Protein backbone atom coordinates (compact mmCIF):
# COMPACT_ATOMS: atom_id res chain seq x y z
CA UNK A 1 0.00 0.00 0.00
CA UNK A 2 1.32 3.44 -0.97
CA UNK A 3 0.57 5.56 2.07
CA UNK A 4 1.15 8.86 0.24
CA UNK A 5 -1.51 7.90 -2.31
CA UNK A 6 -3.91 6.81 0.41
CA UNK A 7 -3.34 10.08 2.26
CA UNK A 8 -4.11 12.10 -0.85
CA UNK A 9 -7.23 10.04 -1.55
CA UNK A 10 -8.55 10.56 1.98
CA UNK A 11 -7.70 14.28 1.88
CA UNK A 12 -9.45 14.60 -1.47
CA UNK A 13 -12.46 12.74 -0.10
CA UNK A 14 -12.75 15.28 2.72
CA UNK A 15 -12.47 18.12 0.20
CA UNK A 16 -15.26 16.67 -1.92
CA UNK A 17 -17.40 16.10 1.17
CA UNK A 18 -17.32 19.82 2.07
CA UNK A 19 -18.72 20.59 -1.39
CA UNK A 20 -22.19 19.39 -0.39
CA UNK A 21 -22.52 21.88 2.51
CA UNK A 22 -21.03 24.43 0.11
CA UNK A 23 -23.74 23.63 -2.41
CA UNK A 24 -26.34 23.99 0.36
CA UNK A 25 -25.16 27.54 1.08
CA UNK A 26 -24.87 28.36 -2.63
CA UNK A 27 -28.44 27.22 -3.33
CA UNK A 28 -29.75 28.49 0.02
CA UNK A 29 -28.60 32.03 -0.60
CA UNK A 30 -30.34 32.11 -3.99
CA UNK A 31 -33.86 31.27 -2.77
CA UNK A 32 -36.36 33.25 -0.72
CA UNK A 33 -35.93 33.62 3.04
CA UNK A 34 -38.89 31.36 3.71
CA UNK A 35 -37.33 28.47 1.76
CA UNK A 36 -33.69 28.44 2.85
CA UNK A 37 -34.10 25.69 5.47
CA UNK A 38 -35.79 23.40 2.96
CA UNK A 39 -33.18 24.18 0.33
CA UNK A 40 -30.28 23.44 2.67
CA UNK A 41 -32.03 20.29 3.93
CA UNK A 42 -32.37 19.10 0.34
CA UNK A 43 -28.58 18.91 0.18
CA UNK A 44 -28.05 17.83 3.79
CA UNK A 45 -30.26 14.74 3.43
CA UNK A 46 -27.93 13.47 0.71
CA UNK A 47 -25.07 13.31 3.18
CA UNK A 48 -26.98 10.69 5.14
CA UNK A 49 -28.99 8.93 2.45
CA UNK A 50 -26.19 8.88 -0.13
CA UNK A 51 -23.67 7.48 2.34
CA UNK A 52 -25.84 4.57 3.49
CA UNK A 53 -26.97 3.69 -0.04
CA UNK A 54 -23.37 3.74 -1.26
CA UNK A 55 -22.18 1.33 1.43
CA UNK A 56 -25.11 -1.06 0.98
CA UNK A 57 -25.42 -1.24 -2.82
CA UNK A 58 -24.02 1.80 -4.61
CA UNK A 59 -20.32 0.97 -4.65
CA UNK A 60 -21.01 -2.63 -5.60
CA UNK A 61 -23.39 -1.75 -8.44
CA UNK A 62 -20.89 0.80 -9.73
CA UNK A 63 -17.59 -1.06 -9.44
CA UNK A 64 -17.99 -4.81 -8.82
CA UNK A 65 -18.54 -7.18 -11.72
CA UNK A 66 -20.26 -6.24 -14.97
CA UNK A 67 -23.73 -6.90 -16.32
CA UNK A 68 -23.97 -6.06 -20.00
CA UNK A 69 -21.59 -3.12 -19.72
CA UNK A 70 -24.37 -1.21 -17.97
CA UNK A 71 -24.12 -1.95 -14.25
CA UNK A 72 -22.15 -3.98 -11.74
CA UNK A 73 -23.37 -6.80 -9.52
CA UNK A 74 -23.82 -7.15 -5.76
CA UNK A 75 -20.59 -8.99 -4.99
CA UNK A 76 -19.54 -6.12 -2.73
CA UNK A 77 -22.93 -5.65 -1.06
CA UNK A 78 -22.26 -3.96 2.31
CA UNK A 79 -18.63 -3.44 1.17
CA UNK A 80 -18.02 -7.16 1.50
CA UNK A 81 -14.24 -7.14 1.02
CA UNK A 82 -11.16 -6.88 3.22
CA UNK A 83 -11.35 -3.19 4.07
CA UNK A 84 -7.76 -3.05 5.34
CA UNK A 85 -5.78 -4.63 2.52
CA UNK A 86 -7.98 -5.14 -0.55
CA UNK A 87 -6.56 -3.54 -3.69
CA UNK A 88 -8.74 -5.29 -6.28
CA UNK A 89 -9.26 -2.14 -8.30
CA UNK A 90 -5.51 -1.52 -8.60
CA UNK A 91 -5.82 1.69 -6.62
CA UNK A 92 -3.86 2.23 -3.40
CA UNK A 93 -6.68 0.75 -1.34
CA UNK A 94 -10.17 -0.33 -2.42
CA UNK A 95 -11.84 1.20 0.63
CA UNK A 96 -10.05 4.52 0.07
CA UNK A 97 -11.40 4.52 -3.48
CA UNK A 98 -14.88 3.65 -2.19
CA UNK A 99 -14.74 6.57 0.26
CA UNK A 100 -13.66 8.96 -2.47
CA UNK A 101 -16.39 7.82 -4.86
CA UNK A 102 -18.99 7.97 -2.08
CA UNK A 103 -18.60 11.75 -1.94
CA UNK A 104 -19.50 11.97 -5.64
CA UNK A 105 -22.59 9.83 -5.06
CA UNK A 106 -23.63 12.26 -2.30
CA UNK A 107 -23.31 15.55 -4.18
CA UNK A 108 -24.63 14.49 -7.59
CA UNK A 109 -28.31 14.09 -6.65
CA UNK A 110 -27.99 17.19 -4.46
CA UNK A 111 -27.25 19.19 -7.61
CA UNK A 112 -30.67 18.31 -9.01
CA UNK A 113 -32.50 19.89 -6.08
CA UNK A 114 -31.73 23.43 -7.23
CA UNK A 115 -34.03 23.01 -10.23
CA UNK A 116 -37.08 22.23 -8.10
CA UNK A 117 -36.37 24.54 -5.18
CA UNK A 118 -39.34 26.16 -3.42
CA UNK A 119 -42.02 23.75 -4.65
CA UNK A 120 -41.25 20.02 -4.17
CA UNK A 121 -42.37 17.95 -1.19
CA UNK A 122 -39.40 16.85 0.89
CA UNK A 123 -40.65 13.26 1.21
CA UNK A 124 -41.04 13.07 -2.55
CA UNK A 125 -37.51 14.38 -3.04
CA UNK A 126 -36.11 11.64 -0.79
CA UNK A 127 -37.91 8.92 -2.76
CA UNK A 128 -36.94 10.49 -6.08
CA UNK A 129 -33.20 10.69 -5.37
CA UNK A 130 -33.18 7.16 -3.92
CA UNK A 131 -34.59 5.72 -7.14
CA UNK A 132 -32.60 8.10 -9.34
CA UNK A 133 -29.32 7.02 -7.77
CA UNK A 134 -30.10 3.39 -8.58
CA UNK A 135 -31.37 3.85 -12.14
CA UNK A 136 -29.13 6.73 -13.28
CA UNK A 137 -26.10 7.44 -11.12
CA UNK A 138 -24.81 3.95 -10.33
CA UNK A 139 -25.17 2.72 -13.93
CA UNK A 140 -23.37 5.80 -15.30
CA UNK A 141 -20.57 5.47 -12.76
CA UNK A 142 -20.14 1.87 -13.91
CA UNK A 143 -20.32 2.71 -17.61
CA UNK A 144 -17.66 5.42 -17.35
CA UNK A 145 -15.35 4.37 -14.50
CA UNK A 146 -16.25 0.74 -13.81
CA UNK A 147 -15.37 -0.71 -17.21
CA UNK A 148 -18.80 -0.34 -18.82
CA UNK A 149 -19.82 0.66 -22.32
CA UNK A 150 -18.79 4.33 -22.23
CA UNK A 151 -15.32 3.27 -21.14
CA UNK A 152 -15.27 0.56 -23.80
CA UNK A 153 -16.02 2.94 -26.68
CA UNK A 154 -13.00 5.06 -25.74
CA UNK A 155 -14.68 8.16 -24.31
CA UNK A 156 -13.01 9.80 -21.31
CA UNK A 157 -14.39 11.58 -18.27
CA UNK A 158 -11.70 12.45 -15.75
CA UNK A 159 -13.85 13.48 -12.79
CA UNK A 160 -17.53 13.39 -13.71
CA UNK A 161 -18.63 15.53 -16.65
CA UNK A 162 -21.04 12.80 -17.75
CA UNK A 163 -21.48 10.96 -14.48
CA UNK A 164 -22.08 14.01 -12.29
CA UNK A 165 -22.92 17.15 -14.25
CA UNK A 166 -24.67 16.14 -17.46
CA UNK A 167 -26.69 13.48 -15.64
CA UNK A 168 -27.82 15.84 -12.87
CA UNK A 169 -28.31 18.82 -15.18
CA UNK A 170 -30.47 16.99 -17.70
CA UNK A 171 -32.41 15.22 -14.95
CA UNK A 172 -32.97 18.58 -13.27
CA UNK A 173 -34.52 19.99 -16.44
CA UNK A 174 -36.80 17.00 -16.94
CA UNK A 175 -37.88 16.99 -13.29
CA UNK A 176 -38.54 20.74 -13.30
CA UNK A 177 -40.78 20.37 -16.36
CA UNK A 178 -42.63 17.37 -14.92
CA UNK A 179 -43.09 19.08 -11.55
CA UNK A 180 -44.43 22.29 -13.03
CA UNK A 181 -43.75 25.93 -12.32
CA UNK A 182 -43.82 27.89 -9.09
CA UNK A 183 -47.05 29.74 -8.38
CA UNK A 184 -45.87 33.18 -9.49
CA UNK A 185 -43.23 32.16 -11.99
CA UNK A 186 -43.05 34.72 -14.77
CA UNK A 187 -45.25 37.15 -12.82
CA UNK A 188 -43.02 38.06 -9.89
CA UNK A 189 -39.32 38.92 -9.88
CA UNK A 190 -37.13 36.51 -7.92
CA UNK A 191 -34.10 37.85 -6.10
CA UNK A 192 -31.47 36.00 -4.04
CA UNK A 193 -32.15 36.67 -0.35
CA UNK A 194 -28.55 36.27 0.90
CA UNK A 195 -25.84 36.99 -1.65
CA UNK A 196 -22.95 36.52 0.83
CA UNK A 197 -24.21 32.94 1.34
CA UNK A 198 -24.07 32.47 -2.42
CA UNK A 199 -20.42 33.50 -2.54
CA UNK A 200 -19.56 31.45 0.55
CA UNK A 201 -21.08 28.38 -1.07
CA UNK A 202 -19.29 28.98 -4.36
CA UNK A 203 -15.97 29.48 -2.55
CA UNK A 204 -16.44 26.18 -0.68
CA UNK A 205 -17.24 24.49 -3.97
CA UNK A 206 -14.06 25.88 -5.55
CA UNK A 207 -12.04 24.73 -2.53
CA UNK A 208 -13.57 21.26 -2.57
CA UNK A 209 -13.17 20.93 -6.33
CA UNK A 210 -9.41 20.64 -5.91
CA UNK A 211 -10.14 17.26 -4.33
CA UNK A 212 -12.93 16.52 -6.81
CA UNK A 213 -10.57 16.81 -9.79
CA UNK A 214 -7.14 16.47 -8.21
CA UNK A 215 -8.19 13.36 -6.31
CA UNK A 216 -9.43 11.77 -9.53
CA UNK A 217 -5.79 11.11 -10.42
CA UNK A 218 -6.16 8.44 -7.68
CA UNK A 219 -2.58 9.00 -6.57
CA UNK A 220 -0.30 11.70 -5.22
CA UNK A 221 1.45 12.28 -8.53
CA UNK A 222 2.06 14.73 -11.34
CA UNK A 223 -1.36 14.14 -12.87
CA UNK A 224 -2.99 15.25 -9.60
CA UNK A 225 -0.89 18.42 -9.68
CA UNK A 226 -1.86 19.04 -13.29
CA UNK A 227 -5.59 18.56 -12.57
CA UNK A 228 -5.30 20.86 -9.57
CA UNK A 229 -3.97 23.66 -11.76
CA UNK A 230 -6.39 23.22 -14.67
CA UNK A 231 -9.24 23.26 -12.16
CA UNK A 232 -8.18 26.59 -10.72
CA UNK A 233 -7.44 28.22 -14.05
CA UNK A 234 -10.75 27.25 -15.65
CA UNK A 235 -12.70 28.61 -12.66
CA UNK A 236 -10.73 31.86 -12.73
CA UNK A 237 -11.16 32.25 -16.49
CA UNK A 238 -14.90 31.58 -16.37
CA UNK A 239 -15.42 34.03 -13.51
CA UNK A 240 -13.68 36.84 -15.40
CA UNK A 241 -15.52 35.95 -18.60
CA UNK A 242 -18.90 36.03 -16.85
CA UNK A 243 -18.17 39.43 -15.29
CA UNK A 244 -17.22 40.85 -18.68
CA UNK A 245 -20.49 39.56 -20.14
CA UNK A 246 -22.47 41.08 -17.27
CA UNK A 247 -20.71 44.40 -17.69
CA UNK A 248 -21.56 44.46 -21.38
CA UNK A 249 -25.13 43.15 -21.02
CA UNK A 250 -26.27 44.83 -17.81
CA UNK A 251 -23.79 47.59 -17.14
CA UNK A 252 -22.59 46.22 -13.78
CA UNK A 253 -20.70 43.16 -12.60
CA UNK A 254 -22.35 41.28 -9.70
CA UNK A 255 -21.21 38.97 -6.92
CA UNK A 256 -23.86 36.43 -7.92
CA UNK A 257 -22.42 36.55 -11.42
CA UNK A 258 -18.88 36.06 -10.14
CA UNK A 259 -20.05 33.10 -8.05
CA UNK A 260 -21.90 31.59 -11.01
CA UNK A 261 -18.90 32.00 -13.27
CA UNK A 262 -16.65 30.27 -10.76
CA UNK A 263 -18.95 27.27 -10.51
CA UNK A 264 -19.52 26.78 -14.24
CA UNK A 265 -15.80 27.06 -14.88
CA UNK A 266 -15.29 24.20 -12.44
CA UNK A 267 -18.06 22.20 -14.10
CA UNK A 268 -16.59 22.68 -17.56
CA UNK A 269 -13.07 21.53 -16.70
CA UNK A 270 -14.20 18.46 -14.74
CA UNK A 271 -14.17 15.92 -17.61
CA UNK A 272 -10.88 17.20 -19.03
CA UNK A 273 -8.93 18.31 -15.94
CA UNK A 274 -6.48 15.43 -16.28
CA UNK A 275 -6.45 15.33 -20.08
CA UNK A 276 -6.11 18.87 -21.47
CA UNK A 277 -3.11 21.23 -21.36
CA UNK A 278 -3.18 24.14 -18.92
CA UNK A 279 -3.58 26.66 -21.73
CA UNK A 280 -6.72 24.79 -22.86
CA UNK A 281 -8.27 25.24 -19.41
CA UNK A 282 -8.21 29.00 -19.99
CA UNK A 283 -10.21 28.55 -23.21
CA UNK A 284 -12.55 26.02 -21.61
CA UNK A 285 -13.40 28.43 -18.81
CA UNK A 286 -13.60 31.54 -20.98
CA UNK A 287 -16.09 29.96 -23.39
CA UNK A 288 -18.35 28.20 -20.89
CA UNK A 289 -19.60 31.55 -19.55
CA UNK A 290 -21.12 32.90 -22.79
CA UNK A 291 -22.54 29.45 -23.56
CA UNK A 292 -24.25 29.09 -20.17
CA UNK A 293 -25.26 32.77 -20.08
CA UNK A 294 -27.09 32.29 -23.37
CA UNK A 295 -28.98 29.24 -22.10
CA UNK A 296 -29.89 30.89 -18.80
CA UNK A 297 -31.01 34.22 -20.24
CA UNK A 298 -32.30 33.34 -23.73
CA UNK A 299 -33.18 29.64 -24.02
CA UNK A 300 -34.85 29.42 -20.61
CA UNK A 301 -36.86 32.57 -21.34
CA UNK A 302 -37.91 31.32 -24.76
CA UNK A 303 -39.19 27.94 -23.57
CA UNK A 304 -40.45 29.08 -20.17
CA UNK A 305 -39.35 26.15 -18.03
CA UNK A 306 -38.92 26.83 -14.30
CA UNK A 307 -35.42 25.59 -13.53
CA UNK A 308 -35.34 27.52 -10.26
CA UNK A 309 -31.58 27.90 -9.81
CA UNK A 310 -30.47 27.15 -13.39
CA UNK A 311 -29.10 23.68 -12.76
CA UNK A 312 -29.53 22.67 -16.39
CA UNK A 313 -28.10 25.94 -17.68
CA UNK A 314 -25.03 25.62 -15.45
CA UNK A 315 -24.35 21.94 -14.84
CA UNK A 316 -26.06 20.35 -17.83
CA UNK A 317 -24.80 22.76 -20.47
CA UNK A 318 -21.48 23.34 -18.69
CA UNK A 319 -20.91 19.58 -18.50
CA UNK A 320 -21.78 19.11 -22.17
CA UNK A 321 -19.35 21.85 -23.18
CA UNK A 322 -16.70 20.32 -20.94
CA UNK A 323 -17.08 16.92 -22.60
CA UNK A 324 -16.79 18.52 -26.04
CA UNK A 325 -13.79 20.62 -24.96
CA UNK A 326 -12.06 17.43 -23.82
CA UNK A 327 -12.57 16.03 -27.31
CA UNK A 328 -11.09 19.21 -28.75
CA UNK A 329 -8.06 19.74 -26.52
CA UNK A 330 -7.06 16.37 -24.99
CA UNK A 331 -3.37 15.54 -25.14
CA UNK A 332 -2.57 11.86 -24.60
CA UNK A 333 0.96 12.71 -23.47
CA UNK A 334 -0.64 14.18 -20.35
CA UNK A 335 -2.73 11.10 -19.63
CA UNK A 336 -2.39 7.84 -21.55
CA UNK A 337 -5.96 6.91 -20.58
CA UNK A 338 -6.95 8.93 -23.64
CA UNK A 339 -6.41 6.75 -26.70
CA UNK A 340 -6.43 9.74 -29.05
CA UNK A 341 -5.49 13.40 -29.03
CA UNK A 342 -8.21 16.01 -29.35
CA UNK A 343 -9.30 17.59 -32.61
CA UNK A 344 -7.06 20.64 -32.11
CA UNK A 345 -4.11 18.29 -31.89
CA UNK A 346 -4.99 16.61 -35.16
CA UNK A 347 -7.31 13.69 -34.32
CA UNK A 348 -11.10 13.55 -34.45
CA UNK A 349 -11.78 10.07 -33.06
CA UNK A 350 -11.97 11.17 -29.43
CA UNK A 351 -14.40 14.00 -30.17
CA UNK A 352 -16.76 11.56 -31.90
CA UNK A 353 -16.68 9.29 -28.86
CA UNK A 354 -17.21 12.21 -26.50
CA UNK A 355 -20.32 13.21 -28.42
CA UNK A 356 -21.59 9.63 -28.34
CA UNK A 357 -21.03 9.41 -24.59
CA UNK A 358 -22.87 12.71 -24.05
CA UNK A 359 -25.84 11.48 -26.09
CA UNK A 360 -26.00 8.19 -24.16
CA UNK A 361 -25.76 10.04 -20.84
CA UNK A 362 -28.61 12.36 -21.80
CA UNK A 363 -30.80 9.42 -22.81
CA UNK A 364 -30.16 7.56 -19.54
CA UNK A 365 -30.83 10.71 -17.49
CA UNK A 366 -34.13 11.42 -19.27
CA UNK A 367 -35.45 7.87 -19.00
CA UNK A 368 -34.23 7.45 -15.41
CA UNK A 369 -35.83 10.72 -14.34
CA UNK A 370 -39.21 9.64 -15.71
CA UNK A 371 -38.93 6.38 -13.79
CA UNK A 372 -37.90 8.07 -10.53
CA UNK A 373 -40.60 10.73 -10.94
CA UNK A 374 -43.28 8.11 -11.50
CA UNK A 375 -42.29 6.04 -8.47
CA UNK A 376 -41.99 9.11 -6.22
CA UNK A 377 -45.39 10.36 -7.35
CA UNK A 378 -46.99 6.98 -6.70
CA UNK A 379 -45.47 6.51 -3.25
CA UNK A 380 -45.99 10.07 -1.94
CA UNK A 381 -49.29 10.70 -3.77
CA UNK A 382 -48.12 13.74 -5.71
CA UNK A 383 -44.78 15.48 -5.36
CA UNK A 384 -45.59 19.18 -5.53
CA UNK A 385 -46.52 21.19 -2.45
CA UNK A 386 -49.84 23.02 -2.34
CA UNK A 387 -50.09 26.69 -3.24
CA UNK A 388 -50.86 27.38 0.41
CA UNK A 389 -47.61 25.70 1.47
CA UNK A 390 -45.74 27.55 -1.27
CA UNK A 391 -47.11 30.87 0.02
CA UNK A 392 -46.18 30.16 3.64
CA UNK A 393 -42.79 28.79 2.61
CA UNK A 394 -41.40 25.27 2.67
CA UNK A 395 -39.38 25.94 5.81
CA UNK A 396 -42.57 26.07 7.85
CA UNK A 397 -44.76 23.70 5.83
CA UNK A 398 -42.16 20.95 5.39
CA UNK A 399 -39.91 21.32 8.44
CA UNK A 400 -41.59 23.55 11.01
CA UNK A 401 -38.51 25.76 11.25
CA UNK A 402 -37.57 29.33 10.42
CA UNK A 403 -34.10 30.50 9.49
CA UNK A 404 -34.86 34.08 10.50
CA UNK A 405 -37.62 33.94 13.17
CA UNK A 406 -37.14 37.59 14.17
CA UNK A 407 -37.57 38.88 10.61
CA UNK A 408 -40.92 40.63 10.05
CA UNK A 409 -40.39 42.34 6.70
CA UNK A 410 -41.66 41.46 3.26
CA UNK A 411 -40.09 38.43 1.57
Range of the domain at 198: 3-399
| Planar angle of CA 382, 309, 377, nearest 5 degrees | 10
CATH code assigned at 338: 1.10.3430.10
Per-residue pLDDT, averaged over 24-36, amounts to: 97
Q: How confident is the model at residue 411 (pLDDT cuts 50, 70, 90)?
A: low
pLDDT at 45 over 70: yes
Q: Which pLDDT belongs to residue 190?
A: 83
Kindly indicate the confidence band of residue 184, based on its pLDDT and cuts at 50, 70 and 90: confident
CA distances from 56 to 78, 163, 174, 322 (A): 4, 20, 28, 32
- Does 409 fall in a domain? no
Q: DSSP characters for 309-368?
A: T-HIIIIIHHHHHHHHHHHHH--TTT-TT-SS--GGGT--HHHHHHHHHHHHHHHHHHHH
Q: Please give the DSSP secondary-structure letter assigned to residue 385.
A: P
Q: Do 216 and 5 contact (CB within 8 A), yes or no? A: no
Q: Is residue 404 part of a domain?
A: no
Residue 178 resides in a domain: yes
Q: Is residue 163 part of a domain?
A: yes
Short-list 403, 18, 23, CA closest to 201: 23
Chain segment 294-318, per-residue pLDDT in tens: 999 999 999 999 999 999 999 999 9
How far apart are alpha carbons 57 and 167 in whole angstroms?
A: 20
Mean pLDDT of the chain: 96
Over residues 353-403, the pLDDT tens digits come to 999 999 999 999 999 999 999 999 999 999 999 999 999 999 999 999 999
Number of domains in the chain: 1
Q: Is residue 405 part of a domain?
A: no
With bands split at pLDDT 50, 70 and 90, how would you rate the model's confidence at 407? low
DSSP conformational letter for 386: P
3-state secondary structure 249-308: HHCCCCHHHHHHHHHHHHHHHHHHCCCCCHHHHHHHHHHHHHHHHHHHHHHHHHHCCCCC
Please state the rounded mean pLDDT for residues 45-61. Answer: 98
Task: Kindly give the interhelix angle for 222-250 and 278-294, rounded to the nearest 10 degrees.
Answer: 40
Is 411 a domain residue? no
Residue 254 lies in a domain: yes
Q: Determine, yes or no, domain membership for 406.
A: no
Interval 372-382: pLDDT, tens: 999 999 999 99
The pLDDT confidence band at residue 92, using thresholds 50, 70 and 90, is confident
Any idea what the Cα angle at residue 175 is, between residues 171 and 181, rounded to 5°?
A: 140
pLDDT range class, residue 409, cuts 50, 70, 90 = low
| pTM for the whole structure | 0.96
Q: Is the per-residue pLDDT at 73 higher than 90?
A: yes
Listed residue (71, 96, 171) closest to 128, CA to CA: 171
Average pLDDT over residues 120-137: 98
Amino acid sequence: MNYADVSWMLTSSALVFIMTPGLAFFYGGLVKRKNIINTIMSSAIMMGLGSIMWVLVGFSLSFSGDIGGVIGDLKWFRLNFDSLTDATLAYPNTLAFAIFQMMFAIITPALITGAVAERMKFSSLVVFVTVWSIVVYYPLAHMVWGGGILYAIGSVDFAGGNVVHISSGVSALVLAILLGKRKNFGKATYHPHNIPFVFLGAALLWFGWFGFNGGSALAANGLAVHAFMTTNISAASAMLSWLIIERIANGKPTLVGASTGMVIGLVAITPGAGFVPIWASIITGALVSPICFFFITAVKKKYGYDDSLDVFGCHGIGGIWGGIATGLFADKTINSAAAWNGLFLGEGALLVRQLAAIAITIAIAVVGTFIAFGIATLITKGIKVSYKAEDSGLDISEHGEQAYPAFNGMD
